[in-house]
Structure 1
Amino acid sequence: MARLVRLVRRYFILGSGLHLVACGGGDSTEPPPPVTVTITPASATVNAGETQSFTATVTHATNPAVTWSATGGTITGAGATITFAAPLEGGPYQVTARSVADPARSATATVTVRAIAVTVSPAAVTIGAGGTQEFTATVSNSTSASVTWSATGGTIAGTGTTITYTAPATGGSYTVRAASTVDPSKSGSASATVTPVAVVVAPASRAAFRGEPVSVSATVTGAAVTGVNWTASCGTIAGAGTTVTWTAPQSPGNCTVTARSVLDPAVASVSMMTVRPAFLVTSLGDANDGVCSWTHCSLREALTAANADPGTDTISLVVPAPVGAAVANTIVLTTSLPAITTPVHIVGPGADVLAIDADATAGSPRRIFEFDGAFAGSLAGLTLTGG
């Protein structure tokens, strides 16, 4: 009996000890897992100025709230999902979500921002002064394709991605630029080489008789506008355009005929005209209407005009080429020619080409030429008869 009591007591003590061990195990429970934060998407590539949504997920926290930050750009919104607006400068940026429950816990997404680029085509052109050229701008990696245009010389017509450029009047190198409206610091350019304007007149020089009409032409190169304006220091100009008629004045001397570019008036060319101190006889008749003009001038009219000019003059007689061996042309006088009272040289085409017939009679003698003794003069290239 005593032995049985001892065994019962032993098992009770052991049981009590096991009970105590079981109670000690409840005090060593595993700690809760740490807070974790994830962002989706983990990475993104966007154009400058574009937006991208990001969502943060917080686990193992009773408070799922996060705070957002970025190394560039801007963040709109709050909560688990926000909108990130990319900056205008290209490059890599980080968007971070940080747990409110445990600020030591965060997640970061990488955003690659493509930089805005602007190209202008054609990239280089050569055009004449005042000429036009179309340019087109292409904008990449931007939220807008619009641009603003500028040029260092000339003018721009139109808006949008394609414009018309008009070159200035002065030759040289110019730049046409297109800048992004989203980021004006991003631009592209084209070079425009403008050829200088040049004007050349023909003839460059000419000797003309009094009243003689001379055709003068101007050639304009290096310009889209080929028009010219004409002026003359003496004489008159008839017509317009690149070819005009200049008529020599009645007074001998030097005249200039100038063609000036309409596009660039600073560019001009000059023809030097020398008006001979000569009257040109073009008629075999003996009429005298008081005017020795280019279209009609008799010997009598030429002598009258020469007498009215105090300087030394020349009278040139122009007739058709000789026919055969005989004198082909004859001026028959109806009355005596006026006495020559100023220095004059009378030059014919040749003694076998032109004769002057006084048409005198025995009862009515007539001199062909009478020179005042105080004045010098000469005769050449004529046959004188009938005096």
Structure 2
Amino acid sequence: MVKPESAIVLPRGTQEFEVETQGQVEWSLEPSLGRISKSHAHPGKAVYHAPLFTWSSVDVRVTAKVKDDEAAGGEATITLSGTPNWLVTLSLFWLAIFSLAIWMLFRIWPAPPAPIAVEVFPPAVTLSPGTALQFEARVSGAPDQTVNWTSSAGSITPTGLFTAPTDLKVGAAITVSASRAADTKQSAVAQVIGAAEQLVMTKSVIVATQMAPGSKLQLEARGNSEKPGEGLSWMTTDGTIDSKNGVLTMPEKSWSGRAVVTALDPKNPLRKASAVVVLRGGCLVNSCTEDRNVAGMWIAFLMGGLGAALGGLRSFVGFVGNRKFVASWGVFYLSRPIFGAGLALLVHFGYRMGAFNAPAGSNPMDPANAAFIGGIVGLFADDVLGKLKDFVDRFLQMSEPRTDKMKHDGEDTAAAAPPAPVIKSITASLASGKVIVKGQNFVAGSKVHVNGTAQVTTFTSATELSAALDKATLKVDDELKVVVVNSATSKSAEMAGKVVA
């Protein structure tokens, strides 16, 4: 008989076995994990040496056979434990997960939304008497891009087309102003300088957000003819520019996200023109929103993984503390962050489309919101998965095709109809080619009908839709009649509005 009959041995550990005999003993292992060596001091003793590493718990049978005395031998069982190896592996894994998630969150966390501000392009230009130039205005931090145009001299249309006075004197300065229609205190100005020969940038605003640091961008200005201006001197507020040729080199990093490039005529200091280059890290109105959307998705994904890792760590420590950890569950803990991250991203999309109710006053565009929801989903992934199953069961529930089926006592025979969509405001912009519809009770399949025709519709949330407009058939001040249709039996009342620039 072998003593002890069973033992739990850790990796790199040892265990002594003994057979009460004075005869010669042959020891063997099945399977051959580790090694067993005889004791020179006592012929009936042997020491088992466990292997350095094992991923899961394994039983090893130790057999002792005594020469010339089979009854004196026997068997014992060794259980090799993988817990210490998993302790080290998972500790390093969670440390890496936490460090990587925190580092990436700091890297991708978007800057706070810029305050509402108006910009006018070009910021400066030189015009000759009677010439016309189209000005542009952008409102950052607000979806409504409607502005009112004024000029200190000459004339300007509601769409920003400026015409210099015919008696414009050389060196005279004219101020062109654009103010928000919603708040006239928020405005921006551009300067028009009078000269015998005009100087205008070929493009008043250039989006270069996709250009890598060190890339080159050629800027051009023209005079009274369409040919590029020659002999000009160039300067910029960010990056570096060839002062003779107007080639702008993209900077490594820009704090403002803007570069105001100015072309000057050395022979006539009053003759100048400016353009704005949006650099890498900067954005215009639409690209800012897109950047925050992408950042929100990444934040929800990372926080879902981080929350799941925290939940797994709590479970793991509990099982180890109770000495109930089974090494075969190690893969479960390794895959937990991936599961939590994917689940958090799925819930984030559902939150954005209005499928799930959010706390009052919360905004799905807020990165703190995405971080909190993603972390909570990852931390309580199993509970969230159960709630999602209930949601899917309701979402995929098929209507009863039979009308002759008997109902149970007290069961309502008519399902409550979903609420009809309601339009509260519409904003149709010719510049963006879109109509923004705000209201309530919108769904993922809602369609915006403009003047009786269904348009390509983008679902933003349960309170906002956007639809494409055909610029070729519309002009400023055209009247639009808008209706939102959820289904054949559910549509909103008609609301009229006018197209703005």
TM-score range, shorter chain: under 0.3
TM-score by length of 2: 0.22
Give the structure, 1 or 2, with the largest relative contact order (CA under 8 Å, sep 6 or more): 2
Structure with bigger strand share is 1
Structure with bigger helix share is 2
TM-score by length of 1: 0.27
